[in-house]
Structure 1
Amino acid sequence: MKSRLVYHWLLYVASLVHILLVPFVLAGSILLEEGTVISFDDASQTPRILRNTSILITNDRITTIFDSSNPSDVPIPTDTERVPAQGKIISPGFIDTHKHGWQTAYKTIASNTTLAEYYIRYGEFSQAETVFTPEDIYLGQLVGIYEALNAGVTSILDHAHSTFSRETASASLNASMDGGVRMWWCYAFHDISNGFSLEDQIENFNELKKDERLGESTVEVGIAYDGFSTAAKEEVQSIMDLATTSNISALTIHYLGGPWPRFSANSPKLLHDLDFLNTSFPIVFSHSSFITPEDASLLRQTNQYISTTPESEMHYGHDHPTTPFIQDQAALGVDTHFTYSADIVTQARLWLQSTRLEFFRQTLNRWRIPRNSPMSVNQAFLLATRAGGLALRRPDVGVIRVGAKADIVVFDGSSPSMLGWTDPVAAVILHSNVGDVEHVLVNGKWRKRDRRLVLKEGLNMSRDEVEGKFLESAKRIQEVWMQTPLPDLEGEFEPGFGVPYADVDVEDVVRGNGTGY
């Protein structure tokens, strides 16, 4: 525990040193005045509430946090934009540590799908590589980012498996830079059927990393790879070599465990055996639904994290029976936002209540009455914010403190759903909705202002034009999928692993013959 605290402290010091070394560029400041701020207390490792507090932002950083009742000692630049925040809640931006942004065009056509069906029908190995054009990928990625920003999500780790070709990979990266969110864009290396080989993908990856726009954007390039347990040793070694020599921002992996054969072995234990777990870059294991005690111990030893995606794991049937026991090395993600909301607050709320239910049930099953709640709103809030920053080894995101990146969300505390709040953390986690997100800042830039999205500077399309083109794209794509027969899920999920398909009991809310599925 002591070594982990020292590690986090060193990361924090490094972020402050970085601030001092960056040349100062004069820019207009932003002052959020007289709000209730959800800051962070390092001593207790819990949210710290600052009432009647103002935040001064200069360039991309939080430069001053002060008591609004005594501002006389704080120099405010004359060109500062003053934003009233009385009665409002000022929160760190929310962090999504697992997403596939390109899939936005599928929205609502997979409302009852399962993971087995998704894998065949909607994922990277489906017909998507032949149907989605580069423009489709660009538009889906961009509109998906807008949905996230609208909900107060300021940082995303994107498992970008729309890398079907040089053109689609470039389209995804360009949309990520045009979207204005903070993103760890992780290029997916995979064995797809169109002739775009691993060698081609590595060459393309190296080309994209040289894009000059990256230096001025809030996007960093990483790697996504799921072949550790299934690919040939030579391929796995080539990916590990690429990761260790390319100065990547992160590496992300799907890992389920349990009865899921294909991803069951992509575990911390496997990477440890490959001498690839204790890395200089963060590794995020998405889902980790049936994580083992040994895996959990290895994560703690190497300071690597999992991404729990509560709504996804409920919707698709992954389940998450053991992930509540590794929450100290966990953050939250959304996964496939075309099947539900991209709102991380919703994920935090679902995870909080499902974890409470699980632990309450354990006590009730012993014929005991719970006298306490097993998980607090503060813990859920930390999973949605600071834990994501730690998972990505960025102590300057997901937190409001001097020197942190100015990724901030302002909630309207006087909305019908939040009126009457006392505890701002409880107000956000249990009572807020996307409509209460009034302002969003990323890197000190407005991305939502007065409940309206603010598009990134230099984008050559208006929001109406983006949405119009996306609707045309989505209509064409959805028509293809609506005409494609559902897969026949018979036999075994992965032949040779001995895990068969089976029917699940179906519920009907209408008596008698009911309404059908």
Structure 2
Amino acid sequence: MRFTAIATAASGVGVALSSSILLSGGTIIAFDEEARALDVIRGGSLLVTDDRIAALYETGKPKDLPADTEIVDCTHKIISPGFVDSHRHGWQTAMRTMASNTTLPDYLMRYVGPAAAAIYTAEDVYIGQLVGLLEALNAGVTTTLDHAHHTWTKGHSQAGLDASIDSGARVYWNHNFAGMGDYGIPDQIADFREWVTTRATADSLTTIAAAYDSWTVAPPEDTRAVVDVIKELKIPVLTTHWMGGVWGLDNSPALLHSLDILNTSTAVVFSHAVALDPIAADLLTATNQFISITPESEMHYGHSHFNSHMVQDQAALGIDTHFTFSTDMLTQARMWLQRVRSRLFDEVITRWKVPSNNPMSANQAFLMATRQGALSLRRPDLGVIKVGAKADLVVFDGRTPGMLGWADPVAAVMLHANVGDIVHVIVDGQFKKRGGKLTFEKYDDVVDRFLASAEKLQRLVGEKPAPVLEGKWFGRDAEYGHADEVDVIRGPGTGYGGLFLDTSDKSRHGPEYASVRGDGKDEL
């Protein structure tokens, strides 16, 4: 199987009409580093030179600009730092709407690991990863930590890396080390070393990083080899799923600390952190490591997040399995804000008292979706608007129906904006979305390739029977339990229903996609 990477000079680099851009006359959500707080500049301007924020002005018409400056009118618009997604699996885009009611066991048995490896070609991984990252850019996500667990072969792995580079997004592509048949940890490490030494460049928007989940289940020599290569190559970011409790997968800060990996230059991001307790929280603070809270995922799958709100100064937000639910950070931040408020309000009300204050502000949610994500990567130059920071920016139209009448720009973005309100997205000083449209020049070709891949993969998954979830969870101590189902229709019908899926050979997107073979062996 051969896949075609989109690597032309124009494809993923965005549009840079000049070396300096002035976003003029907008309301800027800046960050005051000294006060460690947001700072709003109304009717101001922001100068981008090359890849950096060169200046902030309190006027819409500053003087003495560089001669080649392109002026972009941002009157009635809100200029925000780009959003940072600290946990996503981009390659899974093709499965959208297939798993709207799924459980975590069902997800693990049908959509990842060996089940996915059996039907995904390298082309499928490439085009899914690319479309997923373009989708993120469209939603104002300028930086993505991608937990790349599509690393079943060298070809699949490299496809995801190539797509990340071609997307033009700022991506931490975290190669997931996991023994898969003939492609064991030693081979993966050899390939990983090759990519780090030959593909990583100082000016690349894609950073090659690491992911590992098998701390307690892999042979000790494999774990030691992974730790050694991370240290040897000074890998900037490591991520791991940390569940605990009934779920198992006890990849805790204490465990990683015992392997001498928390007190290094490598940033470690613990996704979900279901088993968070005061000891773990203290260890995160002492070593300046972060958890990634993925609110909608953790509610959808039943992970829960009992104590995550207690350590928000060492926490960021993420999206996770974006094919299953919302894909934008606006929604995740909004969900988390109201989830925390509800939880803390309940604590007051159960004491038979009336809450006299709101326990979490829109400002804090905004910071979690921007600056906190950047700090989880140890990148204080991302997720903020300040002089010298990277020019990763999102511009919202303040005159759309849902935004009209705003007074507080942070509240407008956090509580009222949607992806359709995003006019411009700039990454590293280059437009990735302009005038409401992505600047990716081969986007129509990408759509065609993606739809062909998605129809094939969805048909193959739809043909498989759902797993029977009985007995014990993956052979662990915890047994499966049945959750009460709520009804919305009176009488014998419940309204629950099934999924409205069409897995026939007839294309849902036009006849040009109907000829794709369903055996996973396509030459696209």
TM-score if structure 1 supplies the norm length? Answer: 0.91
- Residue in structure 1 matched with residue 12 of structure 2 by the alignment: none
Residue deviations 1:14-57 (CA, integer Å, cap 9, x gap): xxxxxxxxxxxx95211000110000122332211111110110
| Cα gap change, 1:490 to 1:212, in 2 (>3 Å) | closer
Are 1:250 and 2:250 matched, yes or no?
Answer: no
Q: Equivalents in 2 of 1:67, 1:280: separation in Å? A: 38
Partner of 1:306: 291
Q: How does 1:116-265 map to 2 (within 5 A)?
A: 116-123=105-112, 125-193=113-181, 195-212=182-199, 214-261=201-248, 263=249, 265=250
Name the counterpart of 1:489.
469
1:290–1:323 CA contact under 8 A, matched in 2: no
User: In structure 1, how many angstroms separate the alpha carbons of the residues matched to 2:277 and 2:231?
Assistant: 27
Residues 119 and 126, structure 1, Cα contact 8 Å, conserved in 2:
no
**Pairing 1:83–2:72 present:** yes
Q: Deviation at 1:494?
A: 2.5
Residue in 2 that maps onto 1:506 = 485
Rounded Cα–Cα distance in structure 2 between residues aligned with 1:77 and 1:516: 61
The answer on whether the counterparts of 1:184 and 1:249 sit within 8 Å (CA) in structure 2 is no
Q: Counterpart of 1:322?
A: 307
Indicate the SS of the match to 2:207. Answer: strand
Letter in 2 for 1:511: R
Give me the whole-angstrom Cα distance separating, in 2, the residues matched to 1:380 and 1:254. Answer: 23
* Aligned counterpart, 1:479: 459
Cα separation, 2, equivalents of 1:119 and 1:477:
16
Contact 2:200 2:207 in 1 (8 A): no
Instruction: Determine if contact 2:92/2:323 at 8 Å carries over to the other structure.
Output: yes
Contact 2:138-2:419 at 8 Å conserved across structures: yes
What CA distance in whole angstroms lies between the structure 1 residues aligned with 2:258 and 2:159? Answer: 36
Structure 2: how far apart are the matches of 1:70 and 1:110?
50
1:345-398 superposed Cα distances (whole Å, 9 cap, x missing partner):
110000000100000001100101000001000000000000011110000000
The reply on whether 1:292 has 2:277 as its aligned counterpart is: yes
- Do residues 50 (structure 1) and 38 (structure 2) align? no
Q: Which stretch shifts more, 226-235 or 87-96?
A: 226-235
What SS class does the counterpart of residue 259 from structure 1 fall into?
helix
> 1:327-476 alignment to 2 at 5 Å?
327-455=312-440, 462-476=442-456
Once the two structures are superposed, residues 151-205 of structure 1 have per-residue CA deviations (whole angstroms, 9 ceiling, x without a partner) of 0000000000111111111110110000011011111000223x11111111111
1:475 CA drift (Å): 0.2
Q: Give the counterpart letter for 2:206 in structure 1.
A: V
Separation of aligned partners in 1, 2:33 and 2:200: 35
Task: Report the equivalent of 1:41.
Answer: 32
CA distance in 1, matches of 2:132, 2:474: 31
RMSD: 1.5
Unaligned segments of structure 2, at least 5 residues: 1-16, 498-524
Instruction: Give the superposition deviation at 1:222.
Output: 0.5
Tell me if structure 2 keeps the 8 A contact 1:177–1:214.
Answer: no
Gaps (5+ residues) in structure 1?
A: 1-25, 457-461
**DSSP 3-state at the match of 1:494:** helix
Which residue of 68, 74, 89 maps to 1:100? 89
Aligned length: 481
CA contact (8 A) 2:273 2:293 kept: yes
Shift of 1:108: 0.5
C-alpha distance after superposition, 1:313-338 (max 9, x if no partner): 01111111111111110000000110
Distance change (3 Å), C-alpha of 1:214 and 1:132: farther
SS of corresponding position for 1:143 = helix
Amino acid corresponding to residue 118 of structure 1 in structure 2: Y
Question: 2:93, 2:210 → 1: CA distance?
Answer: 21
The separation in 1 between residues aligned to 2:261 and 2:452, in whole angstroms, is 44
- Give the superposition deviation at 1:232: 2.0
Supply the distance in 1 between the matched residues of 2:180 and 2:485 (Cα, whole angstroms).
Answer: 35
Query: How much has 1:212 moved relative to structure 2?
Result: 4.1
| Counterpart-to-counterpart distance in 2, 1:512 and 1:69 | 62
Q: Is the 8 A contact 1:183 1:219 kept in 2?
A: yes
Secondary structure of 2:246's match?
Answer: coil
Residue type of the partner of 2:102?
A: T
Provide the C-alpha distance between the structure 1 equivalents of 2:366 and 2:109, rounded to a whole number of angstroms: 35
SS of aligned partner of 2:316: strand
- In 1, Cα distance between the equivalents of 2:123 and 2:496? 38
SS in 2 for 1:131: coil
Amino acid corresponding to residue 489 of structure 1 in structure 2: L
Are residues 480 and 214 of structure 1, via their aligned partners in 2, closer, same or farther at CA, if it must alter by over 3 Å? farther
C-alpha distance after superposition, 1:410-450 (max 9, x if no partner): 00011100110000000000000000000000000100000
Change in 2 beyond 3 A, CA 1:42/1:215: closer
Letter in 2 for 1:59: D
Instruction: Give me the identity figure in percent.
Output: 50
User: Partners in 1 of 2:133 and 2:60 — Cα distance?
Assistant: 38
Return the offset for 1:401: 0.3
Match of 1:30 among 21, 41, 63: 21
SS at match of 1:206: helix
Cα deviation, 1:214-262, whole Å, max 9, x if unaligned, reads: 444200111000011222221111111010011212000000122111x
- Alignment partner of 1:279 out of 249, 253, 264: 264
SS at structure 1 position matched to 2:171: strand
Structure 1 residues 30, 276: CA separation in 2 closer, same or farther (over 3 Å shift)? same
Partner Cα separation in structure 1 for residue 373 and residue 198 of structure 2:
26
- Does the 8 A contact of 2:145 with 2:174 survive in 1? yes
Query: C-alpha separation between the residues in 2 aligned to 1:197 and 1:100?
Result: 21
1: CA distance, partners of 2:426 / 2:408 = 23
